[in-house]
């Protein structure tokens, strides 16, 4: 290969960024067509771009109601974008390669490794096969249950359509829903706040989609190997603790709030609290009015959205493993220990530095966008912070700001969703110069901390 050709060769992170951007552009063009809207009128390109970005980045923030604004064609475009965006365009490309019996090249394996956030290429194609098989199986089972349940309310054909759409949307942690045409615009699952079937299936989809495919694979193979990897142990422990603590906090804060849990039965209060604890893990669906929550609850949900799901999943945020590493560092420092130990394993310094770097970049991004929008959007600071964090965590929960955003606000939120889906470090690697090995090290210095 010529040196000039090598100079312009794209790195895996750059291919991921360009790939997602291309999918968003194609989706935007399709959604801006007259046939994509229920009225038959073309949708403004910026609104189409925002929706395509939200769908591809599996977020769920919308400037127009999905159930009433888009035609069946537009809704199908959205759900295809969600499926491609959730599993990753490289995973979908690999699926076609499997169908066509095409060999996966070394470069493609490197891109898959980056896309799935894996430490090595070993077993990456085998993992992709599992991702595709597990995803389609889980979505199919949930679609059948949803279809049966909603057939009683909406009729058989509409119930099946809604079942398939929401199974894909919720498993990919997208949060898009079609109930605007049934229970009112932007209503999400508020009409089913005390429906055990809808809530339990939705939560299982959200949790499974947010655990990550490596963890799902470990759980399925547990009967055979009788052991879980450290990664799976950390993810499952952190997920369980965050959901449990979140349920208790939301239940206590909202118990007497007549705008949210107040009117529900005791079982409904518990179910709604549990659902609102699961949903901020990047799902975006809600069974109570988010704008009606108390400010303390809204701020607590911001924290949950910032933490997000787990690595290698369909969700965003800084990830549960990053959060656990930071908590481990705090505990180790307080106890005077040099190492962070999780489940009798010591974490390497590179894992700790990566966790700190990722968290700081994410924090700066959320703060920067929030400050910008505070000058352009005529809404409260908490409302703006909530929306920006929701966009970064690819959550999709909203206090009602998104439909009222200015054009500048829509662009900033769209860029935040894009950064959140790809991950701050992936973007930094894609946009930054190629790392070169240092030929020397500076002498160690000491500064006073704290």
Res 88: pLDDT:
67
pLDDT digits (tens, 9 = 90+) for 121-136: 556 667 777 778 888 8
**pTM for this entry:** 0.89
Res 10: pLDDT:
67
> At 340, is the secondary structure helix, strand, or coil?
coil
Res 276: pLDDT:
95
pLDDT at 46 over 60: yes
d(CA 384, CA 367): 10
pLDDT band of residue 283 (cuts 50, 70, 90) is confident
pLDDT digits (tens, 9 = 90+) for 217-250: 888 888 888 888 898 999 999 999 999 999 999 9
Res 363: pLDDT:
95
Highest averaged pLDDT of the listed ranges 248-257, 311-320, 350-359:
248-257
Res 39: pLDDT:
93
Res 430: pLDDT:
56
The sign one gets for the Cα dihedral 191, 194, 196, 199 is positive
Among 30-44, 335-349, 373-387, the range scoring the smallest mean pLDDT is: 335-349
Among 217, 215, 202, residue whose Cα is nearest residue 167: 202
DSSP secondary structure letter of residue 264: S
Res 4: pLDDT:
46
Neighbouring C-beta atoms of residue 128, cutoff 10 Å: 25
Tokens 């703060």 correspond to 367
If you average pLDDT over residues 128-153, what whole number do you get?
A: 90
DSSP, residue by residue, 401-434: -GGG--HHHHHHHHHHHHHHHH-HHHHHHHHSPP
Higher pLDDT pick, 314 / 103: 314
pLDDT at 100 over 80: no
Averaged pLDDT of the chain? 86
């Amino acid at each position: 290969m010529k040196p000039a050709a090598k100079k312009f060769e794209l790195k895996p992170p750059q291919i991921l960024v360009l790939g997602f951007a291309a999918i968003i552009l194609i989706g935007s063009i399709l959604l801006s067509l007259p046939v994509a809207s229920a009225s038959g009128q073309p949708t403004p390109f910026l609104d189409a771009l925002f929706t395509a970005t939200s769908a591809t980045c599996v977020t769920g923030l919308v400037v127009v109601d999905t159930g009433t604004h888009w035609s069946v064609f537009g809704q199908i475009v959205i759900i295809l974008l969600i499926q491609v965006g959730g599993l990753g365009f490289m995973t979908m490309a690999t699926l076609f390669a499997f169908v066509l019996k095409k060999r996966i090249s070394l470069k493609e394996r490197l891109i898959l490794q980056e896309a799935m956030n894996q430490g090595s290429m070993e077993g990456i194609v085998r993992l992709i096969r599992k991702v595709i098989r597990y995803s389609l199986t889980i979505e199919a089972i949930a679609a059948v249950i949803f279809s049966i349940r909603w057939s009683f309310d909406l009729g058989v054909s509409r119930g099946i359509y809604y079942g398939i759409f929401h199974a894909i949307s919720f498993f990919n942690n997208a949060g898009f829903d079609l109930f605007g045409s049934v229970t009112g615009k932007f209503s999400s699952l508020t009409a089913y706040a005390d429906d055990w079937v809808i809530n339990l299936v939705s939560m299982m989809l959200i949790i499974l989609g947010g655990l990550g495919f490596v963890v799902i694979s470990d759980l399925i193979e547990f009967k055979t190997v009788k052991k879980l990897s450290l990664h799976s142990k950390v993810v499952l422990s952190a997920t369980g603790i965050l959901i449990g603590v979140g349920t208790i906090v939301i239940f206590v804060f909202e118990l007497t709030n007549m705008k949210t849990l107040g009117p529900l039965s005791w079982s409904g209060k518990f179910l709604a609290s549990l659902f609102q604890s699961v949903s901020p893990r990047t799902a975006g669906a809600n069974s109570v009015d988010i704008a009606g929550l108390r400010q303390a609850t809204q701020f607590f949900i911001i924290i949950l959205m910032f933490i997000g799901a787990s690595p290698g999943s369909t969700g965003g945020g800084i990830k549960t493993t990053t959060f656990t590493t930071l908590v481990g560092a705090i505990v180790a420092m307080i106890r005077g220990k040099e190492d962070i130990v999780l489940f009798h394993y010591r974490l390497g310094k590179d894992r700790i530095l990566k966790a700190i770097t990722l968290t700081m970049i994410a924090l700066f991004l959320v703060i920067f966008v929030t400050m910008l929008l505070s000058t352009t959007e005529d809404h409260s600071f908490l409302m703006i912070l909530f929306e920006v964090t929701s966009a970064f965590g690819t959550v999709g929960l909203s206090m009602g700001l998104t439909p009222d955003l200015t054009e500048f606000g829509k662009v900033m939120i769209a860029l935040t969703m894009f950064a959140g889906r790809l991950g701050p470090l992936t973007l930094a690697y894609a946009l930054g110069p190629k790392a070169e090995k240092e030929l020397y090290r500076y002498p160690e210095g000491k500064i006073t901390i704290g």
